[in-house]
Amino acid sequence: MNTIRNHRSYILSSLHGRGKGVGLLLLLLLTVSVSAKPKKEMALQLYSIREVIGSAEKYAKNHEEVFRKLYSWGYTAVEAANYDQGNGTFYGVTPQQFRADCEAAGLKCLSSHATRGLNKDELNSHDFTEALQWWDKAIADHKAAGMEYIVTPGWGTPKTLEEAQTLCDYANAIGQKCRAAGIKYGYHTHSHEFQKVEGTPWVDYMMQHIDADNMFWQMDTYWCVMAQQSPVQYFKRYPGRFTMLHIKDLYELGQSGMLGFEAIFDNAATAGLKDYVVEMEGTDGTIDIMEGVRRCAVFLNKCKSVKKSYNK
C-alpha cells in the first residue's frame, strides 16, 4: 500500500507539468491495476523458509531479497513464526521494523504463530495469571507489527477431559484479551487434535467449549487429511469457524495428489474463510525451498476455485 500511495503522490505532483488530462488518465490506470489485485491475501508462513530467514542473522542477510521475490511471485502477505516475547522481536528486529521491512517489499504483516502454553502447576490449579501477563506483551507487540491475527501453533493432547476444559478456559481468556485489543486469536490444528480424549475427539471438544467469538480455527489442510479426516466435512460440521487455513501438501502444493484444493476453496464460504496461508514443511530434495514456494504460488494462481473465491 505504501508503494501505491507513493505512485499516486508522484502522479498528482506531475499534473502541473503534464496537464490534467494525462495525469487523470494515469490515475485511472493505477486505480484499475489496484482493483485487479486479489481481494484476499495470499500469505506465506515464514516457517516454510526458516533455512533462509529463520534466525536473526539469516533474516538480516536475506530478508530484502527474499521478500522481493515473494511479492514478485504473487504473495501479498506473510505469517511470522519467530516471535521472541522476551526481547519483543520478530526475527531479531522490533515489531515496527519487521512491519516496515515487509511493507517496503509490498507485503503485509498478516499474522503470527506465537503462544505461551500452561505448565503442569497451572493446569492443575487452573490459574492463568502469569500466562495472561505474557499475552499482554505479546498482543501489544503483534499490534505494533500491524498484524490482524495471533495463532497458537498447537498444544499437546490433554490426558483427561478436565485438563481439556482447563485449556479451553485458557483459550477463552486469551481470546477475550485479543478481542479487547482489536486482534483475532486462532488455533492451528495438526493431526493429533483429532485424537480422542475420554472418547471425544480433542478438536471437537475444543470446538464445542471455546466461544467462536474468542477463537477461530486455522485448519492445516495437509494434517487434517493425514489424520484421515475431510476438511470439507469439518467446514460443514462447524460452519463459519475456519477464518484462516494453512494450505499445505506433502511438499509443494498439488505434488502429492492427496489434497482436494478445488473442493476446499469451493467450500470457502461454508468454512468462513477470510485469509489463507501457504506453508511448506520442506521439499523432496530435488529443488530448494524457495523454488518450492514459487511453485506453490503458481499452483494457486492456476486454481480455478481460488480465482472464483477471491476474484483473482
- Give residue-wise pLDDT tens across range 105-149: 999 999 999 999 999 999 999 999 999 999 999 999 999 999 999
Q: Cell numbers at residue 179, please?
A: 478481542
**pLDDT of 6 higher than 80:** no
SS3 45: strand
- Give residue-wise pLDDT tens across range 14-58: 444 445 444 444 444 444 333 344 456 799 999 999 999 999 999
CATH T-level assignment (fold) for domain 39-310: TIM Barrel (3.20.20)
SS3 for 89-116, per residue?
EECCECHHHHHHHHHHCCCEEEEEECCC
Q: What does each C-alpha distance from 286 to 53, 99, 188, 295 come to in angstroms? A: 21, 33, 29, 13
Q: In the chain, which residues fall in CATH 3.20.20.150?
A: 39-310
Q: Which of 193, 170, 175 lies closest to 117, judged by CA?
A: 170
CB-based contact 52:290 (threshold 8 Å): yes
- Give residue-wise pLDDT tens across range 154-208: 999 999 999 999 999 999 999 999 999 999 999 999 999 999 999 999 999 999 9
**pLDDT of 91 higher than 70:** yes
